[in-house]
C-alpha cells in the first residue's frame, strides 16, 4: 500500500512541482558533466604539458564539486521543506484517518527514494548526452584534434555522482522524518488558511535605515573601484564585502516596510485592478523572506561577476596570444652581472656564470653546441640597458610625491628598462607593431599595462625631463605609446624608455634578447626543437655559462589555453550552480505561496474576478519576487565588474562586452526559464478546485 501511495503522490506532484524535478535532474546532469571532463580528453591527441594542465583542472574541479554538493544538498533540503508544506492538509487527513506519523514518514521515505532514483537515472542520461557535446567544447578549448569521435561514458563520474547524491537524499529522508514527527494535526489542517500577518514597520525608521544602508553600500563601491590599491590584505578585501552584504540585507529590510506604505498612499495605483491584493500578498511574504532574498541577491551578484570575469579572461588571453606572442621564440640572457656581483650572487648564480656574463644569447647557444641558424629562418638580436641613476623616482619627476600618496605600494626604486630606438624598431618591425622616431633630445615610454600607463601619463603630461648618461631628454608625447618587448599572453610591460642611440652608454648593458621564427610550422617538429633547447641544461658547460631564458609561442599558447580553460570551466560550474540554486529557491518559494493562496484566489473568483485579471495579478506577484533581488544584484555587478576589470587588466579587457552579453544570455535563459516555469506551474495550482 505504501509503495502505491508513494507512486501516486509522485505522479500527482509531477505537474505542480516540475521545478523540483527539473532542478534535481539538472543538478545531477551538471555534476556528472563537469566531473566527466577528464574522460573526454581520452579521445584527444594532446601534448604532455596540456595533459598535465587537464589533470590539474580536474583536481580543482573535484574540490569544487565538494562545495557544489553542499549547495545542491541545501537546495534539495530547502525544496523538500516546501514540498512538505504544500502537503500539510494531505498529511492532516492521513492523521485524522488514524495513520501514525511513522507510517507517514515511511511514505515520504519511499517517495524520496523513488524521486532520487528517477532523478539520478534521468539526470545521468541527460548528463551523458551533454558530455558528448562537451567533448567538442573541451577539444576546441585546448585546441586539440579529435583523432576519432566515440561515445564516452565516465564510470568514475557516474559513481561519484551516485555517491554524492545518495548522501544528499539520505539527508533529505532524515529531514522529512524529523519534520513529520514535529507536526501538529491542527497546524496541518489549518495551515493553508493562515495568512502571514502584515507588520507595518515605522516608515521613518525604514527611511533612515534605507539611507544609511545606501551610504554604506556606496562607500563599499568606492573602496573596490577607487581605493583598489589599498586592498593589500585579506582583511582589507573582506571589509567592503561585509559592508556590501550587511547593507544589502538592510536595504531589503527597509524596502519591505516602505513598499506597501508608499503604494497605499498612491490611491489610483493601489486600488487599480488587483494591485491592492498583489501588493498585500507581496508585503505579507517579503517581511519573512528578507534574509533569503539577501542570499539570493548575493548569489546572483556572484554569478554575474564570476561568469563575466572568467569569460573575459578566457577570451582576452586567447586574443592576446595572437597580439602579444607574434614570434615563435624569444630568448633572454643577463649581461654584465659582474658589475653587480653581490646582487646576482644572492640570486643563486655561480661565480663562473657571473664572470662569464658577457656573451649574447646567440654566442651562448654556439658555446653550448646549439646552432641557431639550423632551426631559425630569421632572427634578430637587441639589447636593453639599466642604470641606478634612472628609476621611477627620476622619471616621475615633480609628480613623484603626489603619485606616492595615491599609490604608496609601488616600488619607486625599481631601475627603468632603457632601449635604443633603433633596437626597438627592429623588434617592432619583426612583431608587426608600431615603429617610432626620436629627435636627439627626446624620449618615449612604451607600455601596455593599464594601471602603470595611467601613472606614467601623469608625469608625461607634466612634460617631465629625464637625465640619462649626461643627456637631458624631454618626452616626445604627453602619454605612453603602445608597445612591448617580452612575449606573453598578458599585458605585462609597465614601461620601456626609448632613447636616441647616441645617448646609450654600453657599459650599462643589462640584457640581450634573441627573437626568431622557426623554419618549420609543424607543431611536432617545433616541439622537438624546443625539447632540444630544454635539454641544453644537461650540458656540463651549463654550469659555467648562463642559459638563455626562453619563452616560445607554443609554450605560451599551451599554458594560456590550460589556464583559460581551467578558469572558464570552474567559473561556469560555480556560476551555473549558483544561478540554478537562486532561481530554484525563488521558484519553489513562489509555488509554495501559490499553494497557500489557492483559497484566496478562489475567493476572487467567487466575487466575479475574471481569469485574465487573476493571471495578471499572479504574474506581477511572481515577477516582483524574481526581479527585486535581480535588480540590486545587477547594480552590485556593475561595481563588481569594475573591480574585476582592475584585476584582469593584466590580461586585457577588450573582450568584456562579449562576455557580458554571454552572461546576460545565460542569465535570461536559466533565470528567465525558471520564472516562466514558476508562473505556469503556479497558474495550474491556483486553478485547482476543492
What is the C-alpha to C-alpha distance for residues 569 and 137, in angstroms, rounded to an integer? 10
Element (H, E) at 51: helix 48-86
* Backbone angles phi and psi of 324, in degrees to 5: -95, -5
Tell me, what DSSP letter sits at residue 391? Answer: B
> Do 418 and 387 touch, CB atoms closer than 8 A?
yes
* Backbone angles phi and psi of 197, in degrees to 5: -70, 130
pLDDT < 50 stretches in the chain: 195-196, 198, 690
Reference 663, options 313, 285, 216; nearest CA is: 313
What pLDDT score was predicted for residue 28? 87
Strands 442-447 and 481-482: parallel
What is the C-alpha to C-alpha distance for residues 275 and 263, in angstroms, rounded to an integer? 9
Residue 439 burial (CB count, 10 A): 10
What is the C-alpha to C-alpha distance for residues 526 and 522, in angstroms, rounded to an integer? 6
Which three cell numbers mark 106?
515511511
Reference 77, options 23, 133, 32; nearest CA is: 23
Which three cell numbers mark 22?
527539473
Residue keyed to cell 632540444: 532
What pLDDT score was predicted for residue 229? 57
CA 575 and chain centroid, separation: 7
What is the largest distance, in Å, between two alpha-carbon atoms of the chain?
103
> Do 46 and 144 touch, CB atoms closer than 8 A?
yes
What pLDDT score was predicted for residue 327? 92
Alpha helix (H) ranges present in 461-609?
523-534, 553-596, 598-606
Show the CA angle centred on residue 332, arms to residues 329 and 336, nearest 5°: 165
CA 455 and chain centroid, separation: 28
Which three cell numbers mark 324?
602579444
Element (H, E) at 517: strand 509-518
What is the C-alpha to C-alpha distance for residues 466 and 311, in angstroms, rounded to an integer? 42
What pLDDT score was predicted for residue 48? 65
What is the C-alpha to C-alpha distance for residues 327 and 429, in angstroms, rounded to an integer? 11
> Do 56 and 566 touch, CB atoms closer than 8 A?
yes
**Nearby residues of 14 by Cβ (< 8 Å), 6 or more positions away:** 21
DSSP 105-156: HHHHHHHHHHHHHHHHHHHHHHHHHHHHHHHHHHHHHTT-EES-------HH
Amino acid at each position: 500500500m505504501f509503495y502505491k501511495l508513494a507512486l501516486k503522490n509522485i505522479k500527482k506532484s509531477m505537474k505542480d512541482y516540475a521545478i523540483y524535478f527539473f532542478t534535481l535532474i539538472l543538478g545531477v546532469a551538471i555534476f556528472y558533466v563537469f566531473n566527466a571532463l577528464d574522460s573526454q580528453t581520452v579521445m584527444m591527441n594532446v601534448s604532455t604539458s596540456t595533459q598535465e594542465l587537464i589533470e590539474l583542472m580536474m583536481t580543482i574541479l573535484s574540490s569544487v564539486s565538494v562545495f557544489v554538493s553542499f549547495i545542491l544538498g541545501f537546495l534539495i533540503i530547502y525544496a523538500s521543506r516546501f514540498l512538505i508544506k504544500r502537503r500539510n492538509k494531505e498529511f492532516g487527513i492521513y492523521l485524522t484517518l488514524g495513520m501514525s506519523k511513522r507510517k507517514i514518514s515511511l511514505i515520504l521515505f519511499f517517495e524520496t527514494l523513488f524521486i532520487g532514483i528517477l532523478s539520478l537515472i534521468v539526470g545521468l542520461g541527460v548528463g551523458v548526452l551533454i558530455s558528448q557535446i562537451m567533448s567538442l567544447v573541451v577539444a576546441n578549448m585546448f585546441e586539440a584534434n579529435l583523432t576519432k569521435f566515440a561515445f564516452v561514458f565516465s564510470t568514475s563520474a557516474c559513481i561519484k555522482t551516485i555517491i554524492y547524491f545518495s548522501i544528499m537524499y539520505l539527508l533529505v529522508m532524515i529531514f522529512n522524518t524529523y519534520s513529520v514527527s514535529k507536526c501538529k494535526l491542527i497546524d496541518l489542517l489549518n495551515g493553508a488558511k493562515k495568512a502571514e500577518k502584515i507588520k507595518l514597520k515605522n516608515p521613518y525608521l525604514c527611511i533612515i535605515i534605507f539611507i544609511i544602508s545606501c551610504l554604506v553600500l556606496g562607500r563599499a563601491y568606492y573602496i573596490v573601484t577607487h581605493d583598489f590599491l589599498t586592498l593589500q590584505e585579506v582583511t582589507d578585501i573582506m571589509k567592503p564585502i561585509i559592508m556590501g552584504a550587511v547593507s544589502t540585507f538592510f536595504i531589503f529590510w527597509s524596502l519591505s516596510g516602505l513598499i506597501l506604505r508608499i503604494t497605499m498612499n498612491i490611491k489610483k495605483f493601489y486600488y487599480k485592478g488587483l494591485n491592492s491584493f498583489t501588493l498585500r500578498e507581496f508585503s505579507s511574504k517579503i517581511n519573512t523572506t528578507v534574509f533569503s532574498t539577501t542570499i539570493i541577491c548575493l548569489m546572483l551578484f556572484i554569478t554575474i561577476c564570476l561568469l563575466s570575469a572568467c569569460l573575459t579572461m578566457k577570451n582576452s588571453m586567447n586574443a592576446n596570444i595572437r597580439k602579444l606572442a607574434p614570434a615563435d621564440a624569444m630568448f633572454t640572457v643577463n649581461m654584465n652581472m659582474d658589475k653587480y656581483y653581490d646582487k646576482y650572487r644572492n640570486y643563486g648564480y655561480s661565480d663562473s656564470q657571473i664572470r662569464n656574463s658577457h656573451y649574447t644569447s646567440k654566442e651562448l647557444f654556439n658555446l653550448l653546441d646549439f646552432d641557431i641558424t639550423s632551426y631559425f629562418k630569421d632572427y634578430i638580436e637587441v639589447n636593453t640597458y639599466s642604470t641606478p641613476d634612472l628609476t621611477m623616482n627620476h622619471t616621475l619627476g615633480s609628480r613623484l610625491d603626489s603619485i606616492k600618496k595615491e599609490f604608496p605600494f609601488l616600488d619607486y626604486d625599481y631601475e627603468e628598462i632603457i632601449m635604443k630606438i633603433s633596437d626597438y624598431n627592429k623588434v617592432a618591425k619583426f612583431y608587426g607593431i608600431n615603429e617610432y622616431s626620436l629627435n636627439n633630445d627626446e624620449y618615449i615610454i612604451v607600455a601596455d599595462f593599464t594601471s602603470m600607463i595611467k601613472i606614467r601619463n601623469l608625469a608625461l603630461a607634466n612634460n617631465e625631463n629625464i637625465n640619462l648618461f649626461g643627456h637631458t631628454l624631454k618626452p616626445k608625447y604627453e602619454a605612453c605609446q603602445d608597445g612591448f618587448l617580452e612575449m606573453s599572453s598578458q599585458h605585462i610591460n609597465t614601461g620601456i624608455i626609448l632613447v636616441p642611440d647616441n645617448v646609450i652608454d654600453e657599459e650599462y648593458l643589462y640584457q640581450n634578447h634573441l627573437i626568431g621564427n622557426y623554419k618549420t610550422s609543424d607543431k611536432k617538429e617545433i616541439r622537438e626543437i624546443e625539447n632540444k633547447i630544454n635539454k641544453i641544461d644537461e650540458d656540463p658547460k651549463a654550469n659555467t655559462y648562463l642559459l638563455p631564458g626562453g619563452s616560445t609561442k607554443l609554450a605560451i599558447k599551451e599554458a594560456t589555453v590550460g589556464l583559460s580553460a581551467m578558469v572558464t570551466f570552474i567559473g561556469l560550474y560555480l556560476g551555473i550552480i549558483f544561478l540554478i540554486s537562486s532561481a530554484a529557491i525563488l521558484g519553489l518559494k513562489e509555488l509554495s505561496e501559490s499553494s497557500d493562496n489557492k483559497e484566496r484566489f478562489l475567493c476572487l473568483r467567487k466575487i466575479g474576478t475574471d481569469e485574465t485579471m487573476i493571471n495578471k495579478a499572479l504574474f506581477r506577484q511572481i515577477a516582483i519576487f524574481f526581479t527585486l533581488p535581480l535588480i540590486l544584484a545587477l547594480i552590485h555587478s556593475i561595481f563588481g565588474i569594475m573591480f574585476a576589470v582592475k584585476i584582469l587588466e593584466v590580461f586585457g579587457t577588450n573582450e568584456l562586452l562579449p562576455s557580458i552579453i554571454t552572461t546576460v544570455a545565460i542569465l535570461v535563459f536559466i533565470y528567465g526559464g525558471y520564472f516562466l516555469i514558476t508562473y505556469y506551474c503556479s497558474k495550474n495550482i491556483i486553478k485547482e478546485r476543492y
